[in-house]
Structure 1
Amino acid sequence: MADREFIQSGTTGPRLKYILKIFNSYTTAWIFSALVITAAYGFFFQSEYLKESGIWSLALTLGGEFIIALLITGFITLFIYDKRQKDTPIQRVFPVVIWGRKLLVKIGPLLRQYLFSNDQEETPYNRITRNWIYATSSGARNTIGFGSQVDMDKVGTTLIMPATFTNTKTLTGEETGQFYKKVIGKHTGVETYTLNHFVHISAMSYGALSFNAHAALNKGAKMAGILHNTGEGSLAPCHEYGDADLVFQIGTAKYGIRNESGDMDDDLLKDMANHPQVKMFEIKLAQGAKPGKGGMLLKEKITPEIAKIRKIPLGKDAFAPARHKEFTDVNGLFDFIDKVRGIVNKPVGIKMVIGHTAEIEDIAQKISEEPGRGPDYIVIDGGDGGTGASPHVLSSYAGLPMKQALAVADWALKNNGVRDKVILFASGKIATTIDIAVAMALGADAVYIARGFMLSLGCIQALECHTNACPTGIATQNKRLQKALDIESAAKRVATYADALYKETQMLAESCGYDSPSQITSDDIMVVTSPGHLDYLSELHGISAFEASYERRQAKEGNMSVGEMKMKREQVST
């Protein structure tokens, strides 16, 4: 178990290797040439003047000449380098000036973010969303004047259907009450855990985020009364900083609970279960950022402390396996859940990204057939989620988005009569009140939020999470950059953000005539699907989930693809 010394560690790295890296042959030639030119010019053209000059005058004169020489020889050296290199064709055709293009490409996102993009253009979160989170987390008024900037006729716009006769608490102006309560673990006989809040901090490991970031998240979680997921990087001192309740995530690499061969160590797992803050365990099957691939932590972000906590070697990239070696199907998954639950005696859930609907159906069916087995909760991570470093193709194109995936999971559990036995968490690009309302309308009992909480810490969406150069000190192990993030003030913003999400989602529920957000249904929300036309969420996602599952099952029974089955139907009908 990691000790409770709150050491704010970070990557300093040996300075010498960076110095040697800078002084390659071209740089050496450049500086040496500048020195030679400066010396020659001074000797041949200014020797008399330099003899009569004082020390300061001499330094200024030679210094100015050296700078001019550096500029001249710099352009010449750059020209030679560009002409001789073979990696970039355009660089050989347009030497020197090509670096202007490279500079614009580098700073282009910054220019677009602050100067050229309008408030609703940027991704993954536009300026309206970010500013709302900044205002909300700082406790400032997040009200607006002169109407909304949201285009209510734009395709994709989500609209809540308010009730004419709203909840009486809204009318009397009473404070929002605690109408939300979910108990996890009842059907498997373990030590249960009660959720009193539907917003929780999603899985982000220590390594992906800094010590200061996790310490602030943990203290903020304690203040707000919400869960803090450790991520697959194991439990670290920063997770103990605020004494918040934790979900310990078990990834494919078994970080923190692995033996020398990389297998899960039952004794280490038991130690984690005995930690007073750890309330639940979560087996990570996949994550929205990179479905089908394990966690990735580049060596630049692995400090000695992180290597010790994860039980991995220092100086190497940490790439977790794509799959758990303990199982390859639903039967094996249930056996592994049973093993973990038998050791920890606490709720055990799974985190998954839905692809084919048959997989979540198989899980739901097995829960129905074997009472007392299976996950106590399921985290549905949308393919549109992602805070970690990930391949572009997986991050952008793999996995069902959160809304569709959640509808599929909810339908599968209901169809097998086990919806009341499993708590559903939704995760993936959830950050605002309307996101939460939509998720709960589609079947979520609670939500996990990652990037929203990063924004509450002070993230500016610099898109540098994978580079170890996060300018706000959140997604970096660089000590100098980490100092930018003050733990105490950031923790207050985290708690304020979580509280505001609870109250505003409660307010939405009351506007629909309900006591709790968990009562919101997919018939209380409509989406603009074409200019002038709206559809209920139940039509868009609930029915499509059923149809997709039904068609795939029929095609499988006929030993053909869904496309082949539809073509066959058309041929028969004609």
Structure 2
Amino acid sequence: MLVRNQFKLLSIIVPLATLVLARFWPPAWWLFAIILPLIALGIYDLLQRKHTILRIYPVIGHMRFIFEYIRPEIQQYFVESDTNGQPVNREFRALVYQRAKGVRDTRPFGTVFDVYRNGYEWVNHSLAPKAVHEKNPRVLFGSPDCLQPYAASPLNISAMSFGALSKNAIMALNKGARIDGFAHNSGEGGLSPYHLRHGGDLIWQIGTGYFGCRNANGEFDEALFTEKAGLEVVKMIEIKLSQGAKPGHGGILPAVKLTQEIADIRHVPMGQDVVSPPAHTAFSTPTGLLEFVARLRELSGGKPVGFKLCIGRKSEFLSICKAMLETGIAPDFITVDGAEGGTGAAPIELTNSVGTPLRDGLIFIHNALIGTGLRDRIRIIASGKVMSAFHMLRLMALGADTINSARAMMFALGCIQSRHCNQDTCPTGVATQNPARYKALDVEDKSVRVANYHASMIKNLTELVAAAGLDSLNELRPWHINRRVDGTETRNYAELYPCISNGSLLSDSGREGCWQTDWNEASANHW
């Protein structure tokens, strides 16, 4: 800060001094008043390590920070809202930046939300609030079949691959995870050296392309999987069935972002888009999926294994439930991805119009597992546009055990949502393979910001729980969250998202309406 102020002082003093010199030597005005201060500022921008934008765009990058400086006074007039009336993007992006930087994130003058707008949500507080008991809450993953269960943070980094993100971004995320003790999902692009360098806990995602554990034909390779799954930093294995941003479609890494290093890690050819198949080849039925889960658990030495999906046809998930009942095999966790989830590249129709939104998918899976008597055996992870502690709280009230976040973690790295991810021209070095850009992202500084953001989220989450008069996250229930649905009418989540009774789907009398129809269509032997 001192050096920065010295440069600012220099840019003021030199022009003033040269005004006098200009009377006797006119060219000096141009040399000292304009050129030299800009050169000095540019040199400073290139040498500093706090702001990636200034390292990539010296001098002109300051325009962004000028607007950022005045934004708090005007943002309430330009706030963007989602369909539930909750301000997103600008308000919450600013919140993430502040928490990541470790600066004050309190707000004067009360809420910027329209509390009488349909869709406004809040948590019931208690007149007998509790002290915060769980300062570092943990959620245990791993069924009795697991020899190496994992105690996870309530908030972890969602799946983002090396290739989609730069090597520096991956290293900063992983080191941030190690600093504050939470997990980093690798994404489907395989385990790169940059995931492993700093020793943060990893959830290794296995997609339909089997990147990092595939043979020359693109099929699953048990030997390669066993070798990498045995690494100490790999804590859990996640099989990706589908992704909220492009469900029913394979992952895409545009050719412009494919380097030889990434091609070697993924075992794919250069010069073309890397497109994962839409479906797995290692299995083709619900029973086959569960047998694959059991096989990966065995090959990994007993680590927790689960799968990720965005809900589409409900009967297909009930088919998986039936397969669990018939085989006795259950995953250790299920990650529910919402249709509102983000991606670096996807067809617009799939991004906007395919897949079930997170809350609808979450409550369905939660109910399906309760109705089949399987909920106590399986953890649920929720993923989709989570940026504040209240976002976490309301998903946990609906049944999520932990939360994954991608968008907010990118903001913590410095992402400004320029939406150039698929063009390799990311202005902050986060989602690019251009060394001139990603080398400007300082791993040491950004890893601290990622850790800061996580720590602040957990702190605020535990304070919300205490304000509700609860001792732990386990006590959260749907009735703790309210929503304005129409004018003066409000309802709590228990009324909006009713739960079915334990084991009710196992008998004909317990299935009502669409549950009966979907159950009849479901089969353990086919999707």
TM-score range, shorter chain: 0.7 to 0.9
Query: Does residue 309 of structure 2 align to residue 352 of structure 1?
Result: yes
Match of 1:363 in 2: 320
- Once residues 330 and 415 of structure 2 are traced to their aligned partners in structure 1, the CA distance between those partners, rounded to angstroms, is 37
- Once residues 268 and 202 of structure 2 are traced to their aligned partners in structure 1, the CA distance between those partners, rounded to angstroms, is 23
Match of 1:41 in 2: none
Shift of 1:277: 1.0
Which of the residues 112, 119, 132 maps onto 2:95?
132
Contact 2:136-2:458 at 8 Å conserved across structures: no
Q: Highest Rg: 1 or 2?
A: 1
Shift of 1:122: 6.3
Q: Percent identity?
A: 37
Contact 1:180-1:518 at 8 Å conserved across structures: no
Q: How does 1:240-259 map to 2 (within 5 A)?
A: 240-259=196-215
Change (3 A) 1:313 1:122: farther
Q: TM-score, normalised by structure 2?
A: 0.79
Shift of 1:260: 0.5
Match of 2:282 in 1: 326
* Secondary structure class of the residue paired with 2:490: strand
Shift of 1:368: 3.9
Contact 2:249-2:277 at 8 Å conserved across structures: yes
Q: How does 1:158-557 map to 2 (within 5 A)?
A: 158-167=121-130, 169=131, 177-178=134-135, 180-195=137-152, 197-345=153-301, 346-371=303-328, 373-542=329-498, 550-555=512-517
* Secondary structure class of the residue paired with 1:194: strand
Contact 2:318-2:519 at 8 Å conserved across structures: no
Change (3 A) 1:533 1:484: farther
Report the aligned-residue RMSD. 2.5
Instruction: Give deviations 1:516-555, integer Å, cap 9, x for gaps.
Output: 22321110000111122111112222359999x8423444
Query: Does residue 104 of structure 2 align to residue 148 of structure 1?
Result: no
Instruction: Give deviations 1:245-293, integer Å, cap 9, x for gaps.
Output: 1111110010011110111111100111221211111100001110000
- Once residues 294 and 428 of structure 1 are traced to their aligned partners in structure 2, the CA distance between those partners, rounded to angstroms, is 18
Contact 1:441-1:518 at 8 Å conserved across structures: no
Match of 1:81 in 2: none
Shift of 1:558: 8.8
Contact 2:135-2:462 at 8 Å conserved across structures: no
Instruction: Give deviations 1:331-351, integer Å, cap 9, x for gaps.
Output: 111122122222112111100
Match of 1:16 in 2: none
Change (3 A) 1:556 1:491: closer
Shift of 1:367: 2.9
Contact 1:441-1:520 at 8 Å conserved across structures: yes
Which protein is richer in helix relative to its size? Answer: 1
Q: TM-score, normalised by structure 1?
A: 0.73
Shift of 1:148: 1.2
Residues matched between the structures, number: 440
- Once residues 544 and 428 of structure 1 are traced to their aligned partners in structure 2, the CA distance between those partners, rounded to angstroms, is 24
- Once residues 557 and 381 of structure 1 are traced to their aligned partners in structure 2, the CA distance between those partners, rounded to angstroms, is 22
- Once residues 495 and 227 of structure 1 are traced to their aligned partners in structure 2, the CA distance between those partners, rounded to angstroms, is 11
Output the amino acid matched with 2:319: D
Change (3 A) 1:312 1:143: same
Which of the residues 115, 118, 121 maps onto 2:80?
121
* Secondary structure class of the residue paired with 2:144: helix
- Once residues 409 and 438 of structure 1 are traced to their aligned partners in structure 2, the CA distance between those partners, rounded to angstroms, is 16
Output the amino acid matched with 1:363: I
- Once residues 427 and 116 of structure 1 are traced to their aligned partners in structure 2, the CA distance between those partners, rounded to angstroms, is 27
Shift of 1:355: 1.6
- Once residues 498 and 384 of structure 2 are traced to their aligned partners in structure 1, the CA distance between those partners, rounded to angstroms, is 18
Change (3 A) 1:505 1:558: closer
Shift of 1:419: 1.1
Output the amino acid matched with 2:306: G
Instruction: Give deviations 1:372-416, integer Å, cap 9, x for gaps.
Output: x12111000011112231111111111111111111111111111
Output the amino acid matched with 2:113: V
